[in-house]
Chain A
Amino acid sequence: MTCEETTPLLMDRLQGDLSPAGEEQLAAHLATCPACRAEVEAMTETWNSLGSLDDEHVPHERLRARFHAGLAAYEARESRHWTERVFASWWPQQPVLQMGLAAALALVGVLVGQQLPSSSDNEIAELRSEVRAVGIALLDHQSASERLLGVKWAQGTAQAPEVIDALLERVQYDTNLSVRLAAVDALRADLDNPNVVAGLAMALERQESPLLQVALTDALLAADQPPIDAVRAVLGRTELDPTVREYLQMALSEVEPETAPAIPEA
């Protein structure tokens, strides 16, 4: 076995997922290779020291949301293959036939629509408001993972004012950092709404988690009219994490490169 081949075995072992056969292979190589032995030791130590961080200090940032979005995209990719296959089997290839079929389907749609009772619009609206009520209830759930689900739901929905309010409330008051971060992420789609910008700016004033400070700054500076003063005010805090300070200064200088002001030292 070459030294390079030890990497996947080591990574499996760190995740506690190395088979006995793999363990034997790895041990056999390590017995003969001091360099790999040192490497495995160093990596194991690093892996373990990463375990010393509690969840509050881990920069999950937008990871959860991105991960789930990525997974959903993958699943959509997979299922599209299937639907495309079905679709391709009956959808005609010639443009004339395609147009004919499209017109026929449109006609069927109109006819069916006329037959339906006119109350259907109301029913749909009712259903929507029911779904919204469930989503908002999730946002207020006792369990953090349910609240995360609620935030995820809110990300995929047209933003009614009460949803935005519920999300802003999560950003401000949720006790779980991941929920606060995910809510900031969900609100990024509504940065053209001045209430959202104002709410996030208010949250930035109070938040003490470095990760949230960074996420909020990112979001605020992406707004059309970023509330630069609110971001700059954070730099005035004496207890600000030095890494965050560095980051904020950099982000501010990118937003207004020409007028880059003297940044107050705490």
Chain B
Amino acid sequence: MTCEDTTPPLMDRLQADLSPVGEEQHDERQSELVRQALLRLPAERREVLVLSRYEYKSYDEIARVLDCSVGAVKVRVHRAMKQLREIYLDMAGEVSA
């Protein structure tokens, strides 16, 4: 293989690296907004949400730690998600406005 042979694939690769990929960028922006929204959530709401969504703790485990009923945990996670959604939609509105 000569050096010249390597040129097209290399250029293709660079091109692929440089050119914006619409969907990916959109996903990234969305993730960034979700992350920001999560940070803006009051700490105690964020806590139950992170525990159930990212730490894979069961509602039962969370209830034991927070010393409340399983039903109350579900309501708390639900409230946290509602508020997160509101914050997210607000921020998405600001960004696109």
**Count of interface residues, chain A, beta-carbon cutoff 8 Å:** 30
Give the size range of B's interface with the partner: 35 or more
Given contacts A42-B85, A43-B81, A59-B39, contact A49 B53 (CB under 8 A): no
Q: Determine the distance from Cα of A50 to Cα of B36 in the docked complex, in whole angstroms.
A: 11
| CB-contacts of B28-44 with A (<8 A) | 30-31, 34-36, 38-40
By Cβ-Cβ distance, the 6 closest A-B pairs, closest first, are A70-B65, A11-B74, A8-B74, A46-B85, A57-B35, A52-B31
Q: List 28 A-B contacts (CB under 8 A).
A: A7-B78, A8-B75, A11-B74, A12-B74, A15-B59, A43-B81, A43-B85, A46-B81, A46-B88, A47-B81, A49-B30, A50-B38, A53-B34, A53-B54, A58-B38, A58-B50, A58-B54, A59-B38, A59-B50, A60-B50, A60-B55, A63-B47, A63-B50, A63-B51, A66-B47, A67-B55, A70-B65, A71-B64
* Chain B residues packing against A (C-beta within 8 Å): 27, 30-31, 34-36, 38-40, 46-47, 49-55, 57-59, 61, 64-67, 71, 74-75, 77-78, 81-82, 84-85, 88
* Chain A residues packing against B (C-beta within 8 Å): 7-8, 10-12, 15, 17, 42-43, 46-47, 49-53, 55, 57-60, 63-64, 66-67, 70-71, 74, 210, 243
